[in-house]
């Protein structure tokens, strides 16, 4: 009888151990999808100069636009006791557009900044308080394309219309740190949430155009574009 009990206990222990081994986050490849939001912030300062007319004005501007954000990602994680590390690639779908009318003494420019999506990579460095959860820091980078415009909203015959205009697209790479939490739901499926902050480099854009009025000189404008992007998402991770 005792031998049967011992055998049953051994089988139960082995079964529990096997289930525990399955129901934990392990090393290996993974893929996933997520959904959340992105917010474009930062500065968009405009300077207008016309020496002939005696104008030399600078108006500080700000960026503000929120958008739905979805992403796809793939990576490989490595578990070492209670420590965790991962390498990941991602693409984020978003659509931010910040538009602002500014009022100069010599015009009424419309300033816009647009961005549609970003891609990049990240390193995750974390700690596992339990076998089925991870708290991690994100050290990454994102590549994003911006389109920046500055045009005067006045009519063609407006005396104070600023003739110079800017329409420029450029690609920017930003350091994108963040934090994340991942929790196992079942054998191969985890839930995670992340926050990332991407600080893009300052970009100075300039243009000059002669005014239509004789003797009115040249209009020159400079736009200092300094965007940042905040991203928050909740996603599902499938581990192989």
Instruction: Write out the chain's pLDDT in tens, 240 residues.
Output: 455 444 444 443 343 344 444 579 999 999 999 999 999 999 999 888 887 777 788 888 899 999 999 999 999 999 999 999 999 999 999 999 999 887 766 667 889 999 999 999 999 999 999 999 999 999 999 999 999 998 886 655 556 778 888 999 999 999 999 999 999 999 899 999 999 999 999 999 998 888 777 677 888 889 999 999 999 999 999 999
The predicted structure's pLDDT at residue 7: 46
Report field, pTM of the whole predicted structure over 0.85: no
Sign of the torsion formed by the C-alpha atoms of 9, 15, 20 and 21: positive
The predicted structure's pLDDT at residue 152: 83
Q: In angstroms, rounded to a whole number, what is the distance separating the alpha carbons of residues 46 and 223?
A: 5
Long-range contacts from 210-215, C-beta under 8 angstroms, 24+ separation: 210/163, 211/50, 211/163, 212/163, 213/159, 215/52
The predicted structure's pLDDT at residue 127: 97
Q: In angstroms, rounded to a whole number, what is the distance separating the alpha carbons of residues 166 and 112?
A: 10
The predicted structure's pLDDT at residue 209: 85
End-to-end CA distance of the chain: 42
Check: CATH 2.40.160.20 for 2-239? yes
Q: In angstroms, rounded to a whole number, what is the distance separating the alpha carbons of residues 126 and 190?
A: 16
The predicted structure's pLDDT at residue 214: 66
């Amino acid at each position: 009888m005792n031998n049967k009990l011992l055998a049953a206990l051994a089988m139960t222990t082995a079964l529990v151990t096997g289930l525990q081994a399955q129901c934990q986050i392990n090393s290996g490849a993974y893929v996933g999808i997520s959904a959340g939001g992105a917010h474009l912030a930062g500065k968009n300062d405009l300077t207008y100069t016309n020496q002939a007319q005696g104008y030399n004005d600078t108006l500080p501007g700000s960026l503000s636009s929120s958008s739905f954000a979805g992403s796809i990602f793939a990576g490989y994680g490595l578990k070492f006791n209670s420590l965790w590390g991962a390498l990941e690639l991602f693409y984020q779908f978003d659509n931010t557009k910040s538009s602002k009318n500014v009022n100069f003494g010599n015009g009424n420019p419309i300033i816009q900044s647009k961005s549609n999506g970003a891609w990049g990579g990240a390193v995750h460095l974390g700690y596992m308080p339990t076998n089925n959860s991870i708290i991690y820091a994100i050290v990454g980078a994102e590549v994003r394309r911006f389109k920046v415009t500055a045009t005067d909203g006045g009519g063609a015959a407006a005396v104070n219309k600023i003739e110079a205009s800017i329409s420029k697209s450029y690609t920017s790479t930003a350091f994108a740190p963040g934090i994340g939490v991942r929790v196992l739901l079942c054998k191969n499926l985890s839930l995670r949430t992340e926050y990332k902050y991407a600080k893009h480099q300052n970009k100075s854009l300039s243009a000059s155009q002669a005014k239509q009025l004789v003797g009115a000189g040249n209009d020159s404008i400079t736009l200092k574009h300094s965007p940042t992007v905040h991203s928050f998402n909740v996603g599902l991770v499938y581990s192989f």
